[in-house]
Chains A and B, each alone.
Chain A
């Protein structure tokens, strides 16, 4: 098979961008939290898996379609994130990054192992959206679940971007991200904004988890793989930078698609890590971005 045909390249690119949109949704949430409170949340992947199991439960118990489970999971995860921030994360805001890494590492271990205890290590999926569409004009095959997951991710990420840019709360979030003390002086309830931010990030992770159920099989341990990819993405895109995470996500999706197309899917799994290491070698200083200024 000649892999350099335009049709195949297009196929790989579209597939990569759709997968990348899901990464972008997940990574933007992680980066939002980092931007606002300088906390690196190692439990972000487990929050995604919480959304995935919620969608799986709603589907297998009530037969609820993942697209209908989406708002439910987002609300539940928002509330979970809101109170996680209040009870746990708020205590480590302003402490050194090591402390936040260790506490969220502990949190991810708890969530993952409680997940294993309750759901076992079996892989699951939600077979709700299936099949593929053939677009004749472009000579392109689109897998339905991947297309839906990609489009939902793009819409949600764009929605959050719009929210941050134009809503009153969104502006407050950006203000706290830029300078918490000045924001406080301006009358912003910084503690509440942090709770909203963590809730929002958790809701985004939950949404990514719901969409994940339709395209991958997952287990409680899947979160760890994704969180590593997210770190590669935010290091590439710039830590704390929302748009950077979006671009980094799309880039990783594309890179993985082409590597799995030309080499193998096993190598594609290593792409995120290779990219991370490569960026760390080539531009270590430039990557510190906002983290250094803090």
Chain B
């Protein structure tokens, strides 16, 4: 725990000082990296912890991006707009969660699979609100500076990681992991599984909503395809699986790996990059189901998921 905390503090300190030592291109890369950390940790909260895989989490990012952009245009300050984006994404997640999380995992996954497409279709067809396929261009006068966006993203990434750290140490976190290991048994010992899942799901939409808004300010232009982005769903799943689902640092490691692969292949072969992610995903699931972190952890002794490991061993 203390190790996690000091490691976290060092990383945050380094990230906070980064704008001094980097040019705009490097800072942009770091911003995208932190954005992915924020998204991956949010996905980790529902899918990594409970095993309920959301294939459509980009929908909350897209809703947040549109909320943030439209409110900024309407004259709100950027930070108020970010707050509203988080709120609206969460308000949307709540009924969706109530509806789909009563079902067994595969049904939830299937229902989420199409949700991002629904979001994109609505954004395309509701022209009066969203300008449809033309997208929304934000005037530079309204936009916060790159450094401001960077610090906002850093804040979200820290918040999302902190949330995982806190949840892992509480009864709620154990309940979520119990749902992943054996939902029927969790129910039997008195865990209100539906309530827990819905809370985790709604909470997992907060930061993607806010991050969508910050992303809109960062790129200054959004359209349905750029924010309801299927590749974003793939990346979220791949990053968390690679690093280790349901762990504190796994998603961060996953993000660094995926973003590095992206830097190496993105410019020339965006599709090759995704194909590689697909292959990595299969290999990890088959041969390293606990993610890369589990290999490191075996060498170093148990980490923050010790309790879950113990429960699992007792179960076997």
Contacts and interface: CB of A to CB of B under 8 A. Distances in A.
Given A109-B281, A110-B279, A117-B275, A101 B111 contact: no
B237 A291 contact: no
A70 to B, nearest CB: 28
A110 B278 contact: yes
A94 interface: no
A281 B96 CA distance: 11
A102 B114 contact: no
Contact of B103 (A105, A109, A273, A284): A284
A277 interface: yes
Interface residues of B, number: 38
Size class of the contact patch on chain A: 35 or more
A106 B272 contact: no
A80 interface: no
A75 interface: no
Contacts of B131: none
Interface in A102-150: 102-103, 105-110, 112-114, 116-117
A284 B278 CA distance: 31
Contact of B121 (A105, A114, A269): A269
Nearest to A281: B99
Given A99-B285, A105-B237, A228-B113, A113 B272 contact: yes
Interface in B88-112: 99-100, 102-107, 109-111
Nearest to A292: B104
A97 B279 contact: no
Interface in A241-280: 266, 269-270, 272-273, 276-277, 280
Contacts of A116: 271
B144 interface: no
B118 A273 contact: yes
B237 A102 contact: yes
Contacts of B168: none
Contacts of A184: none
A102 B275 contact: no
Contacts of B109: 98, 101
Contacts of B248: none
Given A113-B275, A117-B271, A270-B118, A103 B286 contact: yes
A234 to B, nearest CB: 9
A288 interface: yes
Contacts of A113: 271-272, 274-275, 278
Contacts of A40: 106, 110
B286 A91 contact: yes
Interface string A280-294: 110010011001100
A288 B279 CA distance: 31
B12 interface: no
A37 B83 CA distance: 46
Contact of A280 (B103, B234, B237, B286): B103
Interface in A5-56: 40, 42
A88 interface: yes
B306 to A, nearest CB: 23
Contacts of A88: 282
B289 interface: yes
Contacts of A224: 230
A270 B120 CA distance: 11
A97 B183 CA distance: 14
A207 interface: no
A231 interface: yes
Given A101-B53, A109-B281, A266-B121, A235 B107 contact: yes
B100 A231 contact: no
B269 interface: yes
B36 interface: no
Contact of B114 (A107, A228, A284): A228
Interface in B257-281: 269, 271-272, 274-275, 277-281
Nearest to B122: A270
A32 B273 CA distance: 32
B51 interface: yes
A263 to B, nearest CB: 12
B55 interface: yes
Contacts of B99: 277, 280-281
A70 B104 CA distance: 38
A238 B55 CA distance: 22
B53 A102 contact: yes
B245 to A, nearest CB: 10
Interface in B117-160: 117-118, 121, 125
A276 B234 contact: no
Interface of A: 40, 42, 88, 91-92, 97-99, 101-103, 105-110, 112-114, 116-117, 224-225, 228, 231, 235, 266, 269-270, 272-273, 276-277, 280-281, 284, 287-288, 291-292
28 contacts: A97-B105, A98-B106, A99-B285, A99-B289, A101-B53, A102-B237, A103-B281, A105-B278, A105-B281, A106-B281, A107-B278, A107-B282, A109-B277, A113-B271, A113-B278, A114-B275, A224-B230, A228-B113, A266-B125, A270-B121, A273-B117, A276-B110, A276-B111, A280-B100, A280-B107, A280-B111, A281-B99, A284-B102
Instruction: Name the 4 nearest CB pairs between A and B, nearest first.
Output: A109-B278, A106-B281, A113-B275, A110-B278
Given A99-B285, A103-B286, A110-B275, 6 more contacts: A103-B281, A106-B280, A106-B282, A110-B278, A117-B269, A231-B113
